[in-house]
Structure 1
Amino acid sequence: MSMNSPQLAEKEAKTAPAPARRKASRKAQGSIVPRATVAGRALVAVVAIMTFLASLTLGTVMAVRATAETWRSDVAREVTIQIRAGDPAAVDAQVKAATEIAQRTPGIGEVHVLSQDETGRLLEPWLGTGLDFSDLPVPRIIVLRLDPSQTADLARLRRTLTDKIPTASLDDHRSWSRRLGSMAEGVMATGIGLLVLVAIATVLSVVFATRAAVATNRTIVEVLHFVGARDGFIAAQFQRHFLKIGTQGGLLGGLCASAVFLAIASLPRLGFGGDPENPSILTWLYPGLLGFAGIAVLVLLVAGVTALTSRMTVYRTLRTIQ
């Protein structure tokens, strides 16, 4: 006797391989939340934009921090002696005497007297090019490179220069170092504030989108709830759906931000943005490996926050169903 079609279907379902049964079960479960809806695509775009802005902020903060640390390190390794302008013969003698004093000071590794051309290049950003500096009261500058293996007694060097050369002054750039540190801390605090605002906006967007999805499928949710489906089962369907949305949006935003930073870093090598040895205002904006790792962590956080927020929103919605 041949089996009728329901019996045959039941037998095929029972005898089907375990992977096929699990696939069919997931397909049936996944029908609670609609796929590829306009709201879903819009939320992917919103999450991508939020992640892009957050990644740009994070990368910029890391780039500013790294650049400020480099500048502070360079500044800390150098001090300068300035000899006020005056009679050329007297100034040359004072420069020679200051150089000898610096060379005899322990902790000073290298002494370099800037030529008139080198001093002129330092003044070009403020005075322009093609000027004759011979008639200007431009001081002579001596650059001292500190020896990292020992500590130089800069206070003693300053007193010695003041006693023997009244027109000489020693600048250890501590005020510039403090300013750079304050600037870096201010930028980082601003970046953290922006990241918090972007995170709040992302969470709110997910909350509203989840509520809209629950409202659209409220009849199905109520039926599942009343027939005894656990709240965790229903919330898991929405969590899985929004985890996919958060992952797609986060990856898209993070990759776009990384591409922007890589493009900016490639400008000098491509012939744009100035000389690689003298970068423009944008070419230093490179977050480094630590910055790109931070962007990757940010993408994971966005996906996780999106899924967790949707789950919490579904639980709160289910509590309103009597």
Structure 2
Amino acid sequence: MSVSEKTPAQPERKRAGDMQTRPHGPIVPSANVQGSALLAVIAIMSFLACLTLGGVSMVRATAASWQSQISREITIQIKPDDNLDMDKALAEARNLASSFVGVTGASVMDKQATSRLLEPWLGASLNIDELPVPRLVIVTIDESAPPDFAALRDALAKKIPQASLDDHRTWVNRLVSMARTTVAIGTGVLILVFSAMVLTVIFATRGALSGNRHIVEVLHFVGAEASFVANEFQKHFLIISLKGSGAGSALAALFFMIASWWQSRSLATPASDQATALFGTFSVGWLGYVGIALTMILIAALTTLTARLTVMRTIYEIDQIRSDPARSDGLNT
């Protein structure tokens, strides 16, 4: 009798164990048309965000390089005059500038260098002695301890009335203004990209909830916590966002690699020279690639957080409807 009672109990324990270890299927299908579309959108947004980030960093680096080069030098310009010995005036200006504290060097730009400087506008067969072309003295200064520009300007005006000092402050201010404007525009573009991505994720999450609303309601009705349902959707959108942001970031990194390779292979060509003059080198450096990786992580985290908050909000709305008899009866009818 005792043996017969124990015999049927063993299969029941086995079936109960099978039920405990049986995996449950995901609430949201792992692959559907909506998920593929969202993956493509996230990939495009990630590519644009990384491209904008890299472009802003390149422009900032180029502007900083220009600013550093300009702030290291000032120029003394001497206009020709009938009663002026140009060679003597250039030597006096050079010696006067070298006597000031903060000046590390001064050199006269010779006639050949001046002719090459004007060659794009006046042609290669320019005879500088036949034209009233101003001559320049290039003065190198110490950036950390520059000379007194006002005193140097007054000394030049007293000794050489035809001389004028240009400390390039106008150009430096313009470069700083351009860099700040570029950063502001890039930041605005990034904000727009992230905003569009958040709205897309919200609509995609609500669409997935609408397609599986009856499952969510049943699970929530039988006791499933809102956090459990949110975790299921969070896992689904985390996988999609990692795939999309990874693909977009990889494409952006590949774009910068190809652009850098093209620039290195086409040196001293008009197209490469123009691109280098406007944007600098297309190499973003290891910090740029770290920024691309951080952008990918940020997009994935932002997508996952948006999906979770949207699910929690939807479940809260379901609870509000069930707690309101009038709204619940109207919904059922």
State the TM-score bracket (shorter-chain normalisation): 0.7 to 0.9
Counterpart of 1:289 (choices 269, 286, 311) is 286
Counterpart of 1:141 (choices 118, 136, 146) is 136
**Which runs of no fewer than 5 residues in structure 2 stay unpaired?**
1-6, 323-333
Which structure features the higher share of helix residues?
2
Q: Select the structure of larger CA radius of gyration.
A: 2
TM-score normalised by L of structure 1: 0.87
Q: Could you tell me how far 1:106 is from its partner in structure 2?
A: 2.1
Aligned: 1:47 with 2:42: yes
- Per the alignment, residue 191 of structure 2 pairs with 196
| C-alpha distance in structure 1 between counterparts of 2:208 and 2:122, whole Å | 63
- Asked if the contact 1:207–1:310 (Cα under 8 Å) also holds between the matched residues in 2, the reply is yes
User: Judging changes above 3 Å, is the alpha-carbon distance between structure 1 residues 129 and 291 closer, same or farther for their aligned structure 2 residues?
Assistant: farther
Q: What do the CA deviations read for 1:268-304 (whole angstroms, capped 9, x no partner)?
A: 3223574989835355344333333222221111101
| C-alpha distance in structure 2 between counterparts of 1:272 and 1:169, whole Å | 37
Aligned: 1:242 with 2:237: yes
**Which runs of no fewer than 5 residues in structure 1 stay unpaired?**
15-20
Q: Could you tell me how far 1:52 is from its partner in structure 2?
A: 1.0
| Matched residue SS, 2:124 | coil
Aligned: 1:91 with 2:91: no
Counterpart of 2:312 (choices 289, 296, 315) is 315
| C-alpha distance in structure 1 between counterparts of 2:103 and 2:249, whole Å | 46
Q: What do the CA deviations read for 1:202-238 (whole angstroms, capped 9, x no partner)?
A: 0000011111111111121111111111111001100
- Asked if the contact 1:264–1:282 (Cα under 8 Å) also holds between the matched residues in 2, the reply is no
Q: Could you tell me how far 1:45 is from its partner in structure 2?
A: 0.8
Q: Could you tell me how far 1:11 is from its partner in structure 2?
A: 4.7
- Asked if the contact 2:46–2:244 (Cα under 8 Å) also holds between the matched residues in 1, the reply is yes
Identity of aligned residues (%): 42
- Asked if the contact 2:119–2:126 (Cα under 8 Å) also holds between the matched residues in 1, the reply is no
| C-alpha distance in structure 2 between counterparts of 1:72 and 1:97, whole Å | 28
- Per the alignment, residue 17 of structure 1 pairs with none
Q: Could you tell me how far 1:154 is from its partner in structure 2?
A: 2.1
Counterparts of 1:22-101 in structure 2, within 5 Å, are: 25=23, 28=24, 30-87=25-82, 90-101=85-96
| C-alpha distance in structure 2 between counterparts of 1:155 and 1:109, whole Å | 18
- Asked if the contact 2:71–2:143 (Cα under 8 Å) also holds between the matched residues in 1, the reply is no
Q: What do the CA deviations read for 1:253-276 (whole angstroms, capped 9, x no partner)?
A: 112112222222222322357498
Letter in 1 for 2:132: P
Quote the RMSD (CA, aligned, Å): 2.6
Aligned: 1:270 with 2:265: yes
User: Judging changes above 3 Å, is the alpha-carbon distance between structure 1 residues 266 and 51 closer, same or farther for their aligned structure 2 residues?
Assistant: same
| Matched residue SS, 1:267 | helix
